[in-house]
Amino acid sequence: MWSIFNLFKSKKPVKKQLTEEQLEIIKLEIQTINKKCEAIADSKSKDSRDRHEKENSTCPKCKATQTIDKFKRTKGAISGRFSGTSGLFGGSSYGSIYGELDTLEVNQCRICGNEWKKTKPFYWSMREIRTDHLNVLRRLLKDYKEARECKFDKSNLEEIYKSREEKVEAFLKQIEDSYCKKETIQIWEGFHIETIKELMKSEEEYAQIKWEENYDEGTLLSLGLCKFN
């Protein structure tokens, strides 16, 4: 029987539904990816913490490793009670502000008395690492697209290539040697394109480079990703 729904059906492009089994694989792959990104986040955070610990505990002047933690007042900073508008908070604020605004955390050397600013380590989350790597992949796909579609203009005196073919080849060579490609393979090799699509979907609205616009199955397969039949 004809119904209004048939009309919609016929106009929509046929999109293959994923099977239960495939969905299960995607789910497991996302878990594996998350674990991988978590390990990277932990290792980067640890490196940062170690580096800062060393910087904070070694006097840059005499290299002694006996230090004291100190808080120092900074000149002209706001402290105590106040009311009114404050540019710092982007509107009106009332009450008290203490802490970081009026103090500077410093390390002091027990041996020579030298003081230097305490630095704080940076901690990465699994999500941040995953987002970064999705962005690197978007960037890489865009680079490939730009290389394939590059314009060649013989009459342009600034053109350094002899032909379009030579230009495309040079661009592709640059991509081959790039950090983006190395990073991409390291993280995404062996996973299904459908899994990456799922992850891309969850962050698409914040992405500066659009995944759909630069999507190219052949490129992704050449990077070591795979696809359901």
Write out the residues near Zn ion by the rule CB under 5 A: 59, 61-62, 64, 109, 111-112, 114
C-alpha span between 80 and 97 (Å, rounded): 6
C-alpha separations of 89 from 80, 97, 99, 210 in Å: 16, 11, 15, 34
CB 115 within 8 A of CB 70: yes
CB 106 within 8 A of CB 87: no
Tell me the residue ranges of DSSP E strands in 43-177: 67-73, 80-86, 91-97, 103-109, 115-117
**CB of 61: closest distance to Zn ion in angstroms?**
5
**CB of 65: closest distance to Zn ion in angstroms?**
9
CB 135 within 8 A of CB 207: yes
Closer Cβ to Zn ion, 62 or 88, answer by number: 62
C-alpha separations of 103 from 78, 106, 113, 206 in Å: 10, 9, 19, 36
**CB of 50: closest distance to Zn ion in angstroms?**
21
Closer Cβ to Zn ion, 58 or 79, answer by number: 58
Closer Cβ to Zn ion, 69 or 165, answer by number: 69
**CB of 59: closest distance to Zn ion in angstroms?**
3
Closer Cβ to Zn ion, 59 or 220, answer by number: 59
**CB of 125: closest distance to Zn ion in angstroms?**
36
In one letter, which amino acid is 212?
Answer: E
Closer Cβ to Zn ion, 60 or 224, answer by number: 60
Distance in angstroms between the alpha carbons of the first and the last residue of the chain: 33
Closer Cβ to Zn ion, 62 or 77, answer by number: 62
**CB of 109: closest distance to Zn ion in angstroms?**
3
